[in-house]
Each structure stands twice: as structure tokens, then as C-alpha cells.
Amino acid sequence: MLIPEMDGIELPRELDYISTGEVDGVGTWRELPEDADLKGWRAVPRRALWELTGEISFAKANRLYAEMDWRKNSRFCGRCGTPMEDGEDNGRACPKCGYRIYPIISPAVIVAVERENRILLAHNSAFPSGRYSVLAGFVDLGESLEEALRREIREEVGIEISDIRYFDSQSWPFPRSLMVAFQARWASGEIEVDGKEIDSADWFASEDLPEIPGSVSVSRRLIDDFIKRNS
Ligand SMILES: [Zn+2]
């Protein structure tokens, strides 16, 4: 995405004009034409916005991006192939067969599991080497959030959990998820990683943690909460 270029000036926090192909400060988002004049703007990864401009701008920009991405991917009716039109609400409708669609959000669950003052952290094979975090996964069709949590933990590290409690949630627009965070306790079983998604996992005390995620994510807030209660 693009933010205004300001050499030698610290970016203001909470930018309200993060933008777009228009380079005019209007809060819409569209893809840039090949020959767009980018003078005065610089490209940054969407993830970097949190650090550069703060939480509100990060959320605003990612919402605009998600809308653009959804519109781009919902041009035709999935039922009959006719070009879709905007509906009266925030959905789109097929003028031929009447099929209606709405923006797609994929719920995911994330959980900090604790066992006797230690927290379960795992290394996902997609993480940088040495980085550990709490476990997460997408909710399947027909599952409750709690069922998804139990299944993910069982599949990835082979243990059973209990005392599941809601912690917090976070829009996670990479690409269009809603992360729902929980805390839970170990109930039974010993760690046995699946060897595919998770290649290493262990119980860690607060004074002996491995490298953990930065402060953007709810995963870090879960770990920080554990540290606060156990140090
Ligand atoms: Zn249709």
C-alpha cells in the first residue's frame, strides 16, 4: 500500500488519509495502473502500517483493502456466471438468478494453553527459525469455536484442553480472517507435534521464553497476559 513520502519527518500517527490509486487523500482503494505517478508516495507492506501509523490507520487501511479484494473476487455469480451488481446493502446480487453474496470473513481461533505456570508455545514451519507462538487454526464448517480449538490442539500437538475462556478478538486481514482468542488449561496427553504444520512445541516458563511475535497481534497479547500473571 502507499503512504505519503515525507523525508526526514516522522509520520503522524493515525493517518486519516491513507490512500489509494488516486493519490488525492480520498479514502478508497484501488489497484494502481502500470503508469501511475508515484512521486510523493512510497509503498509499504500492509503489516508495517501498525508500526508506522498506529492501530486505527492499520485497521482502516486493511478494511479498505479487504473491500477491494472482495469486490475483485466477486465479479461473477458463483451459481450462474452472470456479472454481479451491487445490492442495496453491503452485498452483491445476481440480476439473472437472484443469488446474493456478502463479504466473506473466515473465523480463526487462537489459544494460550497453560499447564502449571507454563505456556504452550509452538514453532510453525512457516515461521522464521526460532520464533514460537501460541497455536491457531481456522474454524471448519459446522464447528463451534470451542470445537475448532479442541480439534486444532489435538491435531497439532496431541493434547486435550479444558476450561476454555474467551480472551479477546482481532480483525486479521491477511487475507480476511477474524481471530478469536481464548485461554485454556491442559487436561491430558503429552506433546506430540504433527510434524507438518508444527515442527516443535514445548511448555515454557515466563522467565525462559523463546523468541515471540511482535506487538501487532493478539497472539502477543495472550503471551503478555501470561507473563504478567506469572512473573
Ligand atoms: Zn446468478
State pLDDT tens for residues 21-45: 444 444 455 566 677 676 777 777 7
Instruction: Tell me the domain boundaries of the chain.
Output: 2-73, 75-103, 106-229
Q: What is the pLDDT of residues 95-123, one digit of tens each?
A: 999 999 998 899 999 999 999 999 999 99
DSSP letters for the chain: -EEE--TTSPPPSS-S--B-TT-SS-S---PPPTT---TTEEE--GGGHHHHH-HHHHHHHHHHHHHHHHHHT-SB-TTT-PBPEE-SSSSEE-TTT--EE----EEEEEEEEEETTEEEEEEETTSPTTB-B-EEEEPPTT--HHHHHHHHHHHHH--EEEEEEEEEEEEETTTTEEEEEEEEEEEE------SSSEEEEEEEEGGG--B---TTSHHHHHHHHHHHHT-
Ligand 1 (ion): which residues have CB within 5 A?
77, 79-80, 82, 94, 96-97, 99
- Domain 106-229: CATH architecture, name and number where available: Alpha-Beta Complex (3.90)
Q: What is the pLDDT of residues 50-84, one digit of tens each?
A: 777 777 777 777 777 787 778 888 899 999 999 99
Q: What is the mean pLDDT of residues 166-175?
A: 88
Cα 29 to ligand 1 centre (Å): 27
Q: What pLDDT sits at residue 180?
A: 97
Name the band, by pLDDT with cuts 50, 70 and 90, for residue 2: low
Cα 91 to ligand 1 centre (Å): 14
Cα 77 to ligand 1 centre (Å): 5
Name the band, by pLDDT with cuts 50, 70 and 90, for residue 6: low
